Amino acid sequence: MVAGDFTVAVAKGGKPYFPHCPQVHFSISHSGEYWAVAFSSLPVGLDIQRHEQRDYLSLAKRWYHPQEYAAVEQYGKQCFFDIWCAKESRIKCGGTGFPALFPTFSVVEKGAIAAVVEDWQIKPLNIDADYSACLCGQQLGRVNVCLVF
């Protein structure tokens, strides 16, 4: 168990952290009926997205890497949201902020979410048929996730 002052601060890129307990890393996400938090001893990123009606092809063309856009064209709406969550979890993990880096890297490998992106492990999470979720970190086996709905 970790004891300490869990006052939350926000880094320059928007990533929250515990300034008085730097050995605990966390990421928070919420969408629709779900709220989740991931804790780790290493940097971690988590994202959840409800599948809402959007012009996902236009969004993918604007924000996604060309490999990702091609995957969305081929596989559709579910693929769009899976990629979104993988990208956002990666951005959250690194604390670099959204959306500047979205088009500069791809989370797709052979039409599916890659297991590793830029030395970060990526793991899609199955939560609900109407949601996509993804976790990103250096060692995902050491991450605890709490999901509330």
Q: What is the pTM assigned to this prediction?
A: 0.90
Give the bridge partners for 148, in sequence order. Answer: 35
| Of 121, 42, 36, 58, the residue nearest 86 (C-alpha) | 121
Alpha carbon 67 to chain centroid distance?
18
Find the radius of gyration of the CA atoms of the chain: 15
CA distance 28 to 30: 7
Range 52-67 average pLDDT: 94
Q: Classify strands 131-137 and 44-50 as parallel, antiparallel or unpaired.
A: antiparallel
Q: CATH 3.90.470.20: does it fit domain 9-148?
A: yes
DSSP at 141: G
Q: Quick: pLDDT tens for 98-144.
A: 666 788 899 999 889 999 988 899 999 999 999 999 999 988 887 88
